Amino acid sequence: MIIQSSFKPAWWLRNRHAQTIWPSLVRIRPKITLRRERLELPDGDFLDLDWTEDHNGPIVILLHGLEGNNNSHYAKTLLKHLDQNNFQAVMMYFRGCNGEVNRLPRAYHSGETGDINFVASQLTQRFPDRPVYAIGISLGGNVLLKWLGETGMDNPLDRAIAISVPFELAKAADQLNRPESKIYQRYLVNKLQNSLRQRLAKMRLPIDDVKALSCKTIREYDELVTSPLHGFCNADDYYQKSSSRQYLSDITVPTLIIHSRDDPFMTKDVIPVEKELSPEITFELAGCGGHVGFITGAIPFKAQYWLEKRICVYLKEHLSNCDSQSSKP
């Protein structure tokens, strides 16, 4: 079902760009102790996980956005908030996003679900008596929703949350190339190209690296790099097969999707309609919130970050339901 979000933007941050840019520029990353774990993968590569302290409570997997890491504005703040609410959070780095070049030419992309499937399976086997949840941010949200739809009843999660998801990748790429959003595209392309340079210094890749390092748009990068490295015919083939919108009706895990109509990374027509959603999806739609913004607060420059609180409320609802059911005779 689609519901109106309770989120109300700060009156001094009502612009979608202000909501998007403010936390990246202004928000202070909190200090938090994280434990790094390396997982060896079946294909010979590896993934890194950053764990918060063990509370013996539910496990929450965090999937970051494009070229994200634990310094992304939402990462440490969300990890700390979960930790303070007695969840044990674990951030899964997509391949190459941990600051170290991976072993294989392949990397990650918006539709690559094998790694999260492996990690979730490992964690549910390791902690069979603890609920396992997942939160996906932006690209990570697309990966999460696609995986939930692909696996259906076989998915091991107890609950999931996806935030600011690019449900249709082609439309998101086109939106990022429009004048009002090119600032975000340039930032993301620069980060992708910096990561590519690091990989090229370590290994040969079957791509035209000169063109890839000089391209200007997300679509060009996906045509020159993402598609050939991951078995797609071209960018359009990648976008069509990897977009999460077509998987929403097959999701069987209770899932909260939080989205804003004014997200500058995409157009309003990527927002699914009610008939596309499975009965297990609650789609919480805000009028203003930007891309992974959702900043409220009555006093200027004293921002309050609504997302963390909403996430914990939703996850605690599952725990309350479990407790009430277990207490029944």
Is residue 291 among the annotated active site residues?
yes
Cα–Cα nearest to 28, from 303, 312, 310, 291: 303
The per-residue b/e assignment along 77-93, b for 16 or more CB within 10 angstroms, e otherwise, is bbbbbbbebebbbbbbb
Query: How far apart, in whole angstroms, are the C-alpha atoms of residue 275 and residue 248?
Result: 10
Query: How far apart, in whole angstroms, are the C-alpha atoms of residue 169 and residue 247?
Result: 13
| Pairing verdict, β 304-305 and 255-260 | unpaired
Is residue 318 among the annotated active site residues?
no
Helix (H, G, I), strand (E, B) or coil at 20: helix
Q: Which of 138, 164, 181, 243 is catalytic?
A: 138
138, exposed or middle or buried, with CB in 10 Å at 0-12, 13-18, 19+? Answer: buried
Question: Which residues have a Cβ under 8 Å from the Cβ of 271 and sit 6 or more positions away?
Answer: 167, 259, 261, 285
pLDDT of residue 318: 82
Q: Which amino acid is at 252?
A: T
**Which residues on neighbouring strands pair with residue 60, listed in sequence order?**
89, 133
C-alpha 147: how far from chain center = 12
| Pairing verdict, β 46-51 and 59-63 | unpaired
Query: How far apart, in whole angstroms, are the C-alpha atoms of residue 286 and residue 87?
Result: 26
pLDDT of residue 324: 53
Query: Which residues in the chain are classed under CATH 3.40.50.1820?
Result: 2-168+252-326
For 48, 102, 118, 127, 132, the CA distances from 123, given in Å and listed in that order, are 14, 22, 9, 6, 8
Q: What share of the chain is helix, strand, coil (3-state, %, to 5)?
A: 40, 15, 45
Task: Give me the tens of pLDDT residue by residue for the chain, a chain 329 residues long.
Answer: 999 999 999 999 999 999 999 999 999 889 999 999 999 999 999 999 999 998 889 999 999 999 999 999 999 999 999 999 999 999 999 999 999 999 999 999 999 999 999 999 999 999 999 999 999 999 999 999 999 999 999 999 999 999 999 999 999 999 999 999 999 999 999 999 999 999 999 999 999 999 999 999 999 999 999 999 999 999 999 999 999 999 999 999 999 999 999 999 999 999 999 999 999 999 999 999 999 999 999 998 899 999 999 999 999 998 877 765 544 44
Using CA atoms of 257, 261, 264, 267 in order, give the dihedral in degrees to the nearest 10: 100
96: left (phi over 0), alpha (psi -120 to 50) or beta: left
Is residue 195 among the annotated active site residues?
no
Query: CATH class for domain 2-168+252-326?
Result: alpha beta
Question: How many other C-beta atoms are found inside a 10 Å radius of the C-beta of residue 282?
Answer: 16
Asked if 141 and 63 count as a contact pair (C-beta separation under 8 A), the reply is: yes
